[in-house]
Amino acid sequence: MKGEILYQKIAKTIAWQIKTGIWKPGDKLPSLRTISREYGTSLNTAIQAYYELEKEGFILASPKSGYFVNYKPLHLSAPTTTQPRIKYAAEENNDLISEVYRTIEDLSITRLSLGVPEDILLPIAKLNKELVRAMRSLPGSGTRYEDTQGSPKLRKYIARFTYNWNGLLSEDDIVTTSGASHAVSLALSATTQKGDTIAVESPVYFGLLQLANSMGLRVIELPTNPVTGVEPDALKKALPQIKACILISNFSNPIGSCMPEEHKKAVVKMLADHHIPLIEDDLYGDVFFGNSRPSPCKAFDEEGLVLWCCSVSKTLAPGYRVGWIAPGKFKKEVLRQKNITLISTPPLNQETIANFMENDRYENHLRKLRQELHANSLHFVQSIIDYFPEETRIIHPQGGFMMWVELDKKVDTTKLYYQAMQQKISIAPGRMFTLQDQFNNCMRLSYGHQWTPTLEERLKTLGEIIKKSM
């Protein structure tokens, strides 16, 4: 552990020096032996530090010549704060959504539209071993119903894992679900009725819009900053109209915003003062690129009005459909709704995930995943700067899998989708993430891929298609 901390510290120091211009692009860095001697550490630790810097795009290794600075300062223009009409809208673009996700399993396509990490980034072999172990240990080999609240073992490990954001949850506070979308569905069923109005971010994950419409709910879309998330003042204006609010507070899908802690506190208090429940989808909170996990809104919940929803679908096993909800004061109603719709979540999948959470294996996997995705995000940002039109607006992701790209107003990303598909490249057009006529010049790209020269070439091709469409 000491070696790990030290090499990360060395890498962080050199990265800061490069960012601040102490080391310039093209400068030759000290040799590995020099780094080892100056920091009083082993040669292996120096190698690990340079490996981290190389993976994140700060340096390049030149055979027989040494290591050189490769970093280019990024002059980014952030996408604009969204300005949806703060009124009920219901124009769902189901045809476009179906078209984009029709090719979700077509491996011949570069699926920049995909909202999950590639298989190669997941510990599939280790999960397979735990699946066999679970089958051997469970009564009936996992074929029986279990208690509606879900696996006690899994709920215990989930409660333990909330230590990283000071969560004061016990296993009795948690109900397991079939993924985060199921958790949100139970939360909406427990807190709203047909005809009620809810508030969401704009843009927002299209699945939440589809779910709300299917339940007969009205939707108000709120102005959202691409860095700091929902504007608290806009939410305040909507309070008289809404029965519930749904927020993806950490690294939202699709825009990538992360609410500052002071905004989370303000939103939780504002809603509590009006006795309005907050349904929090914290699906991406564990995929952070900073020093620590950002707290969810649930961390500031004193009234039991925050229903915290999460899963391992984006970090460990998308197809296992293992999620959970901490429903606060709505636990009884959530359990009733789950019993009506599902009775029991699959015990085999839950036991497998619980087994994997033992002995810090999940945290170790997350650490590697975060490193890989952070490096990927750097590569994506640099490729967009290099190959996309100069007017392109993006922010540097601080976590999650998604990158929101705002193009020139002349570009229609729905048309761009079909043009890109002719080259076997799939994107997620911005119009998918709203019920209003907006974001037609925007798109969501996923960097949940292993970075390769082929992937860079695909981004270059996409950039060329965009330029031709202007």
Residue of 177, 132, 133 lying closest to 154 (CA atoms): 177
Say yes or no to pLDDT of 106 above 90.
Answer: no
Beta bridge partners of 137: none
Which residue's structure tokens are 């090719």?
Answer: 103
Instruction: Kindly indicate the confidence band of residue 306, based on its pLDDT and cuts at 50, 70 and 90.
Output: very high
Three-state DSSP class for 401?
coil
Superfamily the domain 94-120+366-469 falls into: Aspartate Aminotransferase, domain 1 (3.90.1150.10)
Residue of 200, 217, 296 lying closest to 255 (CA atoms): 200
What would the mean pLDDT of 323-341 be, rounded to a whole number?
Answer: 96
Contact 176, 312 (CB under 8 A): no
Q: pTM, whole model, 2 decimals?
A: 0.83
For every residue of 18-41, DSSP letters joined together read: HHTTSS-TTPBPPPHHHHHHHTT-
Instruction: Kindly indicate the confidence band of residue 365, based on its pLDDT and cuts at 50, 70 and 90.
Output: very high
Class of domain 2-69: mainly alpha
Domain ranges within the chain, ordered by starting residue: 2-69, 94-120+366-469, 124-362
Which residue's structure tokens are 């006795």?
Answer: 275
Using CA of residue 147, residue 150, residue 153, residue 155, what is the dihedral sign?
A: negative
The fold adopted by the segment(s) 124-362 is Aspartate Aminotransferase; domain 2 (3.40.640)
What would the mean pLDDT of 248-259 be, rounded to a whole number?
Answer: 94
What average pLDDT does the structure give for the chain?
Answer: 89
Query: pLDDT over 90 for what percent of the chain?
Result: 59
If one compares 256 and 359, the residue with the highest pLDDT of the two is 256
Predicted confidence at residue 1, as pLDDT, reads 37
Instruction: Kindly indicate the confidence band of residue 26, based on its pLDDT and cuts at 50, 70 and 90.
Output: confident
Contact 49, 7 (CB under 8 A): yes
What would the mean pLDDT of 285-293 be, rounded to a whole number?
Answer: 89
Q: Would strands 218-222 and 224-225 be described as parallel, antiparallel, or unpaired?
A: unpaired
The contacts of residue 364 (CB under 8 Å, 6+ apart) are none
Q: What is the pLDDT of residues 9-18, one digit of tens each?
A: 888 888 878 8
Instruction: Kindly indicate the confidence band of residue 25, based on its pLDDT and cuts at 50, 70 and 90.
Output: confident
Tokens of 52: 């981290």
Round to whole Å and give the CA distance between 203 and 454. 30
Say yes or no to pLDDT of 90 above 60.
Answer: no
